[in-house]
Chains A and B, each alone.
Chain A
Amino acid sequence: MMRLPSFRYRAPRTVREAAEMLADTSADTMLVAGGTDLLPNMKRRQQVPATLIGLRNVAELRGISNGEGLTVGAAVTLAALLRNTDVRAGYTALWQAAAQVATPPLRNMGTIGGNLCLDTRCNYYDQNYEWRKAIDFCMKKDGAICWVAPSSSRCLAVSSADTVPALLALGATITLTSADGIRQIPVASLYRNDGIDYLTRAPEEIVTAVHLPRLDGWRSAYWKLRRRGAFDFPVLGVAAAARLTADGLVESARIVLGAIASSPLDAQSAAGGLVGQRLTDDVIARAADDAAQPARPMDNTDFTLHWRKRVIRDFVNYALREIRGDDMRDVRRRVARQMLM
């Protein structure tokens, strides 16, 4: 059986207490909420924190509140998020993304904050200690080289969180709390295109909440590419959101791609091209081509990279057609193995 390494465990009851603990302790301290990302990494010795600060007793992180939009505590589980009727009704892309994360029991455990901070993934990195030793490790942990692209000076591990492209497309912001205070930033600002240093969060900061703006008149969708109907991380995620006028003109739009770089990729020019247009087949096809163009997937996930690159436009197409109002249930059933409606 795979065993966790030894660690010291601390269980604060409030955010303030957690922030103070974090400020106090050394660099090899990590926060743990659902544990579904960190604990496998610890068992594989990819992450070996000396101290864990467990957030499960921090009640204030588990609320969902209405206001100007929706505020979701970082320790709200994905399952709880899915049960929330406001999320389901008003933030379709987020709901569809959360519904496709991992598996039902893992969604009962994993939290929205954990998904936001999900470690970047790579087939050369997400392996047991023994396997990584056999390739002499990689620069993300214990080694010097990136085996995906040996000439690369940076790590190319992949941003693989389903909810992140959805939150970006929905214009969400997050709250970061430390012993020194709090700050609120757009979700996009949390990420950096670097497989190792993929979060801009300071070591003493805790992601404490996610805020979704009011989105009157917006429609959104999330399409995920993976081999199976469950378990698998995305090897491509497409989130799209658009506000349409009553007569079907696009007033505003966002298209965000996940799982093709170390950070989510905001396809601004593709989305910008939709503004002022109707979502005709041609307009959608052009936007899909534009969105796919800058993507440079690497050979470190499931499926061949050429094929992943090639189908980006199809998945953008699916998302935009769903926003247009097409009945995509059959395609959903074949691609996602679920209806997600």
Chain B
Amino acid sequence: MNIIGKPRRRVDARAKVTGQTKFADDIMLPRMLHCKLLRSSVPHARVVRVDASRAVAHPGVHLVLTGRDFPIPYGILPVSQDEHALATDRVRFVGDPVAAVIARDELTAFEALDLIDVEYEPLRTFADPLESLAHDEPRVHEYGDAGNIHKIVSLAFGDVDAAFARADHVFEDTFFYQGNTHLPIEQHAAVAALDPDGKLVLWSSTQTPHYVHRALAKTLALPAAHIRVIATPNGGGFGGKSDPFHHEVVVCKAAVLLDRPVKICLNREEVFYCHRGRHPVLMHFKTGVRNDGSITGLQVRTLLDGGAYGSYGVASTFYTGALQTVTYQIPAYRFQGCRVFTNKPPCGPKRGHGTPQSRFGQEIQLDKIAERLAIDPADLRLRIVEQPDTLTANYLRIGTIGLAECIRRVTDAADWRARFRRLPMGQGVGLACSSYLSGAGLPIYWNDMPHSGVQLKLDRSGGVTAFCGATEIGQGSDDVLVGCVAEVLGIDPMDVRAVTGDTDLTPVDLGSYSSRVTLMMGNAAIQAAERARDRLAEAVSKKLGVPAERLVFAERRVFDAEHPDTGVAFSEAVCLAEAMFGTIGTTGSYTPPRSAARFKGGGVGPSPTYSYSAAIVEVHVDAQTGWIDVPRVWIAHDIGRALNPPLVRGQVEGSVYMALGEALMEEQTFRRLPPRLSNALVHKYPSMLEYKSPTSLDMPEVFTELVEHPDPRGPFGAKEVGQGPLLPVMPAVANAVYDAIGVRIDEVPITPDKILKALDAKAAGKPARFGPSGFPDIAWPETLQVPPPWEGGDGHAINERERKSAGRTPATKVVPS
């Protein structure tokens, strides 16, 4: 291969280093107006009255919109259509949009916000999931599984209680994973305008233009064919730009009403209110093991603090229980998850979507198990690593699995065996592993169409244009598209132009989420390029009198493999093909294999294949102050094949970075003022200064190992890398802290004050840990019993009602992402 696997400047690098990449806020249009949103200043209330008359009269104000202008709800999942662009009758958190001012400039719009009078009738507020469980009324939403429970699920794969009875030891632990947020450096921005034909165009920093397109058509009641959504390159996404957002809907409505371009760029505080980031999750893990370390059964319970709206929450809930079985052999498994509404910004997908929380619990518990069984934690994991080409208890089809090699590579690199439990007091190393999807197996709304489509247009010049709906969010999707096409056609990546993320110009790709783009778009691109190659080969074959199958496409030529001098330039090959067939354009598409799961909830977790990671973190902990320092991290990632190695390394190191932030400092937390004095419930510090993200001085050295065993399901064998390498780092930090000073911190972030509390507890003869004391009693629904494959199961639940085959209604309720 000439391009794939070789270090190469990414196709969009020049634009980025010269400042020419046009992000959404860089779009400046003639006659453009500016929009600001008035957001709720109360956490939970009925909106009694919105009087905008003073704002409308303010000089420079062109339009004020309120909830009356947006009667139709929307939401990312079909089952959670619970958002209005502006509040109609209820606000559910401080920051919920209530009104919008469109004015000649942003300062005028901002000043006019203060002229809008809103009368609220306060309602009881819910700050904590336990409060939401304790009070069914008032309901934050009029839908959901019960009271203030948004979603509650119970699934069993095999007889877990019998598995515990068979075990030599049963471990029970509770963990808490604090919420945190994406914090992309680019604040969300959008510009809407009517094009000269009168049709609506939206430029937006979105990861999911196709879903935004659908949401706009619905909530604005406009024909989808008359709406064009252009995803501008995202200045970082990490999941935070995956929902359709209020501000996108508002500027579209305003542009339609005013027939002028309207821009909005959120300020940093508003980005914290958009959120849809990591759910705070309380977890209970119960694991049965034999003395040899093999797991007999696992039960996982999770309680998710969902915030004020549904977002991806149904999928998030299932994800907290989906991937435990993908790393280790677990013959019997039970998962019970519950997501509740609270009066805080909604939670949703952040890098790793729903899986980092439970991965944290699982990997710390394994560390505890290894210690009790006196087995090295690396050896324990090597004993129980899942096998390739197997179907797990919960019907996830595993492809290639490089986890064992990841463990070996990382333990070698870190000199694990010489250091684990052997470092001086205050220093330690910890190991953890993980796995992640290479793309969700099901779309967000039920349909039988491809998940990714690529069109190619071949020009007589030899230039190729590749069209795809995928969105460049920094991960390098444009580069993957170009690299795949150029490799197949034997041309230089500079000969290929990527046109992406534009609902008018590009075929649908579902979006940059669930680590799906490289695998799905890459496969679609290869198919389209191979179809183009076949046409060119046929024409060149006829011209040269060489069998088509002997033709090689390389170095911008098409030539005879046996007589390399016999050939034509690629551009000539295009001309020959165009003369023979007419205009050369091809398409490719990708649809994931059908999931083996047939039970309700089985839509979340299936993926064409899974990536694997193992990480070792070294820590220094000061026993006097609890201060934690992380000097080094080693990580190995099973990538299948690295399409462009520096980009792959960047994803791994970026994941380690974001993980360390979550492990050590980042938290999205809230503050209630004294209830006798105030009803306020506010984000504790919605600013980049006080939401702590690691700086260049806080980042340790990272040693990255790539494990490359090409997976036939991926393009040129590639699997995902954008999310998986984040997952093992947080538990590895916790395990390293234990190795260093002998206390367990069973929650993130792991902070010095918690370490001192754990040390105090240890000194007082109490358990040497800091973490949640228990998991609440929750009234779980009837458990869906799904016999695992080795018990003769076929993927159905034995106690689930017969599913309608034609309408597939249950599947729409499953709603994966």
Contacts and interface: CB of A to CB of B under 8 A. Distances in A.
Nearest to B25: A1
A307 B752 contact: yes
11 contacts: A2-B268, A123-B684, A126-B690, A130-B41, A135-B678, A229-B697, A232-B689, A303-B751, A304-B753, A314-B625, A334-B629
A303 B696 CA distance: 21
A131 B690 CA distance: 14
B624 interface: yes
Contacts of A127: 269, 685-687
B764 interface: no
Contacts of B696: 229-230
B522 interface: no
Contacts of A231: 689, 695
Given A1-B267, A231-B695, A134 B682 contact: yes
Interface string B676-695: 01101011111101101011
A26 to B, nearest CB: 22
B412 to A, nearest CB: 27
Nearest to A317: B624
B624 A302 contact: no
A131 B626 contact: no
A304 to B, nearest CB: 5
Nearest to B680: A135
Interface in B23-69: 25, 39, 41-42
A92 B694 CA distance: 27
Contacts of A133: 41
B698 A147 contact: no
B384 interface: no
Contacts of B42: 134
Contacts of A8: none
A333 B751 CA distance: 18
Contacts of A275: none
B697 A145 contact: no
Contact of A307 (B265, B626, B689, B692): B626
Contacts of A2: 267-268
B483 to A, nearest CB: 36
Nearest to A307: B753
A134 B680 contact: yes
A227 interface: yes
Given A135-B680, A338-B697, A3 B106 contact: yes
A83 interface: no
Given A1-B265, A3-B107, A228-B694, A303 B685 contact: no
A228 B692 contact: yes
B620 interface: yes
A141 interface: no
A230 B697 CA distance: 7
Given A130-B39, A130-B41, 16 more contacts: A2-B267, A2-B268, A3-B107, A123-B684, A127-B269, A135-B673, A136-B678, A228-B697, A229-B697, A231-B695, A302-B692, A303-B751, A304-B753, A311-B752, A314-B625, A337-B698
Interface in A280-336: 302-304, 306-307, 310-311, 314, 333-335
Given A131-B269, A134-B680, A229 B41 contact: no
Nearest to B626: A307
A63 interface: no
Contacts of B687: 126-127
B110 interface: yes
Contact of A131 (B627, B665, B683): B683
Contacts of A130: 39, 41, 269
Nearest to A1: B265
A150 interface: yes
Interface string A200-213: 00000000000000
B367 to A, nearest CB: 24
Given A231-B695, A304-B753, A334 B680 contact: no
A128 interface: yes
A152 B70 CA distance: 45
Interface of B is mostly: loop
Nearest to B752: A307
A131 B106 contact: no
Interface in B6-25: 25
A232 B674 CA distance: 27
Interface string A112-151: 0000000000010011101101111000000001010010
Main secondary structure of the interface of A (DSSP, over half): loop
Contacts of A335: 627
B269 A128 contact: yes
Contacts of B686: 127-128, 131
Contacts of B689: 126, 231-233
Interface in B693-722: 694-698
A1 B622 CA distance: 41
Contacts of B94: 131, 134
Interface of B: 25, 39, 41-42, 94, 106-107, 110, 265, 267-269, 620, 622, 624-627, 629, 665, 673-674, 677-678, 680, 682-687, 689-690, 692, 694-698, 751-753, 756
Interface string A219-240: 0000000011111110000000
A150 B674 contact: yes
Contacts of B697: 228-230, 337-338
A136 B677 CA distance: 10
B269 A306 contact: no
Contacts of B622: 334
A83 to B, nearest CB: 20
Contacts of B629: 333-334
A198 to B, nearest CB: 20
Contacts of B626: 307
A135 B94 CA distance: 10
B683 to A, nearest CB: 7
Contacts of A6: 107
Contact of B695 (A123, A230, A233): A230
Nearest to A40: B689
A262 to B, nearest CB: 19
Given A2-B267, A334-B627, A303 B41 contact: no
Nearest to A130: B39
Q: Which 7 pairs across A and B sit closest by C-beta, in order of nearness?
A: A229-B697, A307-B753, A337-B697, A334-B629, A134-B41, A3-B107, A230-B695
A230 to B, nearest CB: 4
B125 to A, nearest CB: 12
Given A128-B269, A131-B683, A303 B753 contact: yes
Interface string A1-40: 1110110000000000000000000000000000000000
A138 B590 CA distance: 57
Interface string A40-61: 0000000000000000000000
A3 B110 contact: yes
Contact of B665 (A1, A3, A227): A227
A131 to B, nearest CB: 6
A2 B688 CA distance: 13
Nearest to B677: A150
Contacts of A304: 753
Contact of B690 (A5, A230, A302, A338): A302
A329 B288 CA distance: 47
Contacts of B694: 228
Nearest to A147: B673
B208 to A, nearest CB: 25
Contacts of A147: 673
A123 B625 contact: no
B110 A228 contact: no
The residue in A228, A231, A306, A337 that gathers the most chain B C-beta atoms within 10 A of its C-beta is: A228
A6 B686 CA distance: 25
A145 B756 contact: no
Interface string A69-106: 00000000000000000000000000000000000000
B106 A1 contact: yes
Interface centre among A130, A304, A311, A337 (most CB of B within 10 A): A130
Given A131-B686, A228-B698, A306 B753 contact: yes
